[in-house]
Amino acid sequence: EGTGSPDDPEPTSPLSDFENSYNYVVSRLQSMDQAIHKLNVGHYTLDVRLVQLLDRLSRLDGKIGEMDDEIQQVLALAKENRKEIGQLECQKGRRIGHKCFLVYRSYETYAGASKKCQERGGRMAMPRDRKEQEALADYARGFFHPGNWPIWLGINDLRSEGLYLFEDNTRVTYFQWRKHYLSSQPDGGKRENCVAISSDDGDWWDNYCDRRMFYLCEFDA
């Protein structure tokens, strides 16, 4: 009788089943092993990349710090420049004694004008006596002629009603309040605490400090 006859029993046995399963498990284990190895390699690569990235970040951080320093230097220089420009510009204004008045045609509150004058290396205009007041009035009249505009001076009674101080906190001793039977100044009491000069006649008016108007700065000359 030859092999393969239908009478022969099938070559199925518990052993070959076991063998199949064993081979299957071994091959799965091997492929898992490979996968783990791959993961390890990947992990190592990521680690290296991360170290490189952190290194670059810290170098960038350093550069940003350097750039920040440079920007600060440039800003400081620009500020200095602006101060010099204020003094130079003032040659277009009116010189009297050791100071120079310059009018600015942009609308600012009293506080805003004070800040702008200081940024330019000056301060708000402080006419300290009749001579300075007359020079200022003449300059303002000529500048705005034939118009009439109110212009901030560096004078206020913010700290104490009726006590008028210059921007540098010294007391005002020479006054040029408008004197008129209908509209004598100051008339704003506690509501109006900042002083403006009117360009046509040079008279002073008290005003709301929040009002926006042109302003006068003064510079050392």
Report, in Å, the least distance between residue 111 CB and Ca ion.
16
Closest to Ca ion by CB, 192 vs 218, is 192
Closest to Ca ion by CB, 93 vs 156, is 156
Report, in Å, the least distance between residue 218 CB and Ca ion.
23
- Residue 108, interface with Ca ion (CB under 5 A)? no
CB neighbour burial string for 93-110, b if at least 16 within 10 angstroms, e if fewer: bbebeebbbbbbeeebbb
Whether residue 205 contacts residue 195, with contact meaning beta carbons closer than 8 Å, is answered with yes
Residues paired with residue 177 on neighbouring β-strands, in sequence order: 204
- Residue 133, interface with Ca ion (CB under 5 A)? no
Closest to Ca ion by CB, 114 vs 193, is 193
Instruction: Single out the segment in contact with Ca ion by CB under 5 A; choices: 2-10, 132-140, 147-155, 193-201.
Output: 193-201
Task: Say how many C-beta atoms besides its own lie within 10 A of residue 115's C-beta.
Answer: 13
Say how far apart CA 153 and CA 56 lie, in whole Å.
56
72's tokens: 């600060």
Closest to Ca ion by CB, 106 vs 183, is 183
* Contact positions with Ca ion (CB under 5 A) in 1-20: none
Report, in Å, the least distance between residue 209 CB and Ca ion.
9
Report, in Å, the least distance between residue 157 CB and Ca ion.
4
Say how far apart CA 102 and CA 219 lie, in whole Å.
8
Amino acid letter, residue 98 = H
Q: Which residues contact 173 (CB under 8 A, 6 or more apart)?
A: 128, 129
Count of residues interacting with Ca ion (CB under 5 A): 2
Site string for Ca ion, 148-187 (x = CB under 5 A): ---------x------------------------------
> What interhelical angle do 14-89 and 110-119 show, nearest 10?
90
Residue nearest to Ca ion (CB): 193
122's tokens: 């000056």
Closest to Ca ion by CB, 86 vs 206, is 206
132's tokens: 């300075």
- Residue 193, interface with Ca ion (CB under 5 A)? yes
Report, in Å, the least distance between residue 168 CB and Ca ion.
19
User: CA 179: distance to chain centroid?
Assistant: 44
Report, in Å, the least distance between residue 163 CB and Ca ion.
9
**Binding-site ranges for Ca ion (CB under 5 A):** 157, 193
